[in-house]
Amino acid sequence: MVDKKEIEHLSDLIKIEIKDPQKYILQVEQILNYFERLDKVEITTEDLLRQELTLDNLREDKFVPYEDNLIEKLKKTRENFVRAPKMV
């Protein structure tokens, strides 16, 4: 099962700070259990795995130019970057 050390390692990998790793152990275990259940499902036909569309059913792609500079319209920018809110 998942332990505190693994949660801390995951937070280091994805570069987020977790104040209480213990809080996430149950959630991660539930996610892993769900994937285990999905792995056990047996599918006997490939009809369920794909959905085919003909080219006639697709919309035509059209280029629509946008004249305004979006960076100038944003409220929080720094040079050419957009500042997003901090994730908690």
Q: What is the pLDDT of residues 36-60, one digit of tens each?
A: 999 998 877 766 666 777 888 888 8
- Selected residue with higher pLDDT from 40 and 81: 40
Residues 25 and 4: beta-carbon distance below 8 Å = yes
Spatial distance between the Cα atoms of 59 and 49, rounded to a whole number of angstroms: 23
The model's confidence at residue 65, banded by pLDDT at 50, 70 and 90, is confident
- Amino acid letter for position 4: K
> Helix (H, G, I), strand (E, B), or coil: what is residue 5?
helix
- What are the residue boundaries of the structural domains of the chain, listed by start? 1-52
Unique residue bearing structure tokens 């959630």: 27
pTM of this structure: 0.46
CA-CA distances (angstroms) from residue 13 to 7, 8, 40, 67, 87? 10, 9, 29, 40, 16
Quick one: pLDDT at residue 46? Answer: 65
